[in-house]
Amino acid sequence: MTSVPETPAAPARAFPDGFVWGAATAAFQIEGATTEDGRGPSIWDTLCARPGAILDGSDGSVACDHYHRWESDLDLLASLGLTAYRFSLAWPRVMPTGRGAINEAGLAFYDRLVDGMLERGITPYATLYHWDLPQALEDDGGWRNRDTAYRFADYAAITQFRLGDRVRHWATLNEPWCSAFLGHASGEHAPGRTDPAEAVVASHHLLLGHGLAAQALHGGRRPAQVGIVINLYDVTPASDSPADLDAARRVDGLQNRWYLDPVLAGSYPEDVVADVAAYSDMSFVRDGDLETISTRLDWLGVNYYSSFHVRGLDAPAPGQPGARPTPWIGTEDVEVVDRGLKKTAMGWDIVPEGLRKTLVRIARDYDAPPILITENGSAWEDEVVDGEVHDPDRIEYLDQHLGAIADAIADGADVRGYFAWSLLDNFEWAWGYERRFGIVRVDYDTQERTVKDSGRHYAAIAAANALR
Ligand code: FCB
């Protein structure tokens, strides 16, 4: 009898030594306790109160009740063998009106949280701004007001003064594109405004705030590893017709280069400046701003979820703008093409190759610091069966994107770590609690946590430092 030859096991794809394996969350999405211990209101509390703004009419007042359950949530993180945690601080918890008085109880919460991480062998990666601007600053013009950038730098300095003996890794902003363009052009995010000109001003002041905060963090008494977190997409033209190529140039310009160029190269892309000229003459950019914005960074955070395939239409099609054109100001004549790819529960195309291309592009086009994948993950219609959550789609998404990262590293990209979005199901902004991204399920009635299959799968990858 001939023996059946064994199928050789697929080789494990090892990640570089020291690769960081973590999970991410954000304050407003998990903490709850929005009126406790002196926290001031934020622009997201205000937007949640606006009828129709949040899909399920919910808000962040309880969320995952993490403010009270942080110890067991850190235990959970440790039980998965993860050794890094990307969390954000709520500015209105630290400074209820965004300036002046510090709220000792708010800072004390983050003090305990950081100590709790260190006790469990978890390295903190703190994000200073994940969208929850103090409402008092919004009342004075928010990010449309240049002064907010300086207030942000003050908050960064104060926070680092208090936590910098234990926190080394700091991100200034999370996804400034969303704050500027979803917040001020499409109005889907707080502060829920719909004026393209305001979106351009806000985007500059956010970047200025980033630069000023980065300088403050570097100038503090403690060594700081400073980064910014940008959401990037691969943008491809539907054909090589001039109209499609130009559509892709414009969307890539607003979505990616509008942030990468000033932060990494100290200039705004000239073609995009020309594109937005109908809304803004950029006269608010002052001498020296771009030097500040391009302050040296120690790492670049990349959030990646999906990519866009776009077509240029012969005529503007207002009202028929494709999947998400409204925040891309001036692109009413661009349509996002449905390629028939598998989509997550957000309706986002799954394009792992876009992540590889994005990372290789950064290495090719920019003088960039090392990269951390600060968010990547997917929402699905999870079901609990006999107390378990079997989520093969999330596992597949995870494997495909980690594979894309391994490919990018092989192609020369300097990627040093990965943070799964998200540790917990949580408040998904305008979608409320209707979309679940967690590798751990949260039952919002009981606050019970259940590790999903994807959580166990991810833990095994992290333990092996390799993808099988
Ligand atoms: C990103 C956000 C994060 C989360 C994911 C799904 O844009 O940074 O808070 O909502 O999307």
Can you give 312-344 as a three-state secondary structure string? ECCCCCCCCCCCCCCCCCCCCCEEECCCCCCEC
| CATH superfamily of this structure's domain 13-467 | Glycosidases (3.20.20.80)
Q: Cα(54) to centroid of ligand 1, in Å?
A: 15
Nearest CA to ligand 1 atom 10: 428
Identify which of 428, 436, 439 to mutate to test ligand 1's pocket (most ligand atoms within 8 A of the CB).
428
Integer Cα distance of 238 and 439 in angstroms? 34
Percent of the chain at pLDDT exceeding 90:
93
Q: Cα(83) to centroid of ligand 1, in Å?
A: 21
Question: Residue 375: CB within 6 Å of ligand 1?
Answer: yes
Nearest CA to ligand 1 atom 4: 428
Write the pLDDT tens digit of every residue in 80-107: 999 999 999 999 999 999 999 999 999 9
Residue 92 vs residue 322, higher pLDDT:
92
Write the pLDDT tens digit of every residue in 44-67: 999 999 999 999 999 999 999 999
Burial environment of residue 278 by CB neighbours within 10 A (0 to 12, 13 to 18, 19 or more) = exposed
Of ligand 1's atoms, which has the minimum distance to the CA of residue 174? 8
**Mean pLDDT, all residues of the chain:** 95
Question: Residue 428: CB within 6 Å of ligand 1?
Answer: yes
Question: Residue 26: CB within 6 Å of ligand 1?
Answer: yes
Identify which of 304, 372, 421, 433 to mutate to test ligand 1's pocket (most ligand atoms within 8 A of the CB).
421
State yes or no: pLDDT of 217 exceeds 90: yes
Other beta carbons within 10 angstroms of residue 261's beta carbon come to 21
Write the pLDDT tens digit of every residue in 148-195: 999 999 999 999 999 999 999 999 999 999 999 999 999 999 999 999
Question: Residue 429: CB within 6 Å of ligand 1?
Answer: yes
Average pLDDT value for residue range 232-257: 98
Q: Note the pLDDT of residue 7.
A: 56
Of ligand 1's atoms, which has the minimum distance to the CA of residue 435? 6
Q: Cα(7) to centroid of ligand 1, in Å?
A: 40
Question: Residue 258: CB within 6 Å of ligand 1?
Answer: no
Q: Cα(376) to centroid of ligand 1, in Å?
A: 9
State yes or no: pLDDT of 356 exceeds 50: yes
Integer Cα distance of 33 and 43 in angstroms? 15
Q: Cα(429) to centroid of ligand 1, in Å?
A: 8
- Catalytic residue ranges: 175, 375
Torsion of CA 410, 411, 413, 418, to 10 degrees: -40
Least confident residue range of 311-320, 332-341, 432-441: 311-320
Of ligand 1's atoms, which has the minimum distance to the CA of residue 379? 6
Question: Residue 421: CB within 6 Å of ligand 1?
Answer: yes
Q: Note the pLDDT of residue 318.
A: 52
Of ligand 1's atoms, which has the minimum distance to the CA of residue 29? 9
Q: Are the CB atoms for 292 and 349 separated by under 8 Å?
A: no
Least confident residue range of 258-272, 280-294, 325-339: 325-339
Ordered DSSP codes for 338-403 = -----B-TT--B--HHHHHHHHHHHHHHS----EEEEE--------EETTEE--HHHHHHHHHHHH
State yes or no: pLDDT of 3 exceeds 60: no
Question: Residue 231: CB within 6 Å of ligand 1?
Answer: yes
- Distance from the Cα of residue 348 to its chain's centroid: 15
pLDDT band at 12 (very low <50, low <70, confident <90, very high): confident
Integer Cα distance of 301 and 259 in angstroms? 12
Write the pLDDT tens digit of every residue in 254-286: 999 999 999 999 999 999 999 999 999 999 999
DSSP 59: -
Amino acid at 229: V
pLDDT band at 314 (very low <50, low <70, confident <90, very high): confident
Question: Residue 177: CB within 6 Å of ligand 1?
Answer: no
Question: Residue 174: CB within 6 Å of ligand 1?
Answer: yes
Q: Cα(153) to centroid of ligand 1, in Å?
A: 23
Q: Note the pLDDT of residue 437.
A: 99
Q: Cα(126) to centroid of ligand 1, in Å?
A: 15
Q: Note the pLDDT of residue 8.
A: 58
Q: Cα(363) to centroid of ligand 1, in Å?
A: 24
Q: Are the CB atoms for 243 and 313 separated by under 8 Å?
A: yes
Q: Note the pLDDT of residue 324.
A: 43
Question: Residue 87: CB within 6 Å of ligand 1?
Answer: no
Q: Note the pLDDT of residue 468.
A: 82
Beta strands in 232-307 (DSSP E): 235-237, 299-303
Q: Note the pLDDT of residue 461.
A: 98
Tell me how far apart the terminal alpha carbons of the chain are, to the nearest angstrom: 32
Q: What does each C-alpha distance from 409 to 20, 103, 357, 388, 405 come to in angstroms?
A: 14, 43, 11, 34, 6
Pairing of strands 466-467, 13-14: antiparallel
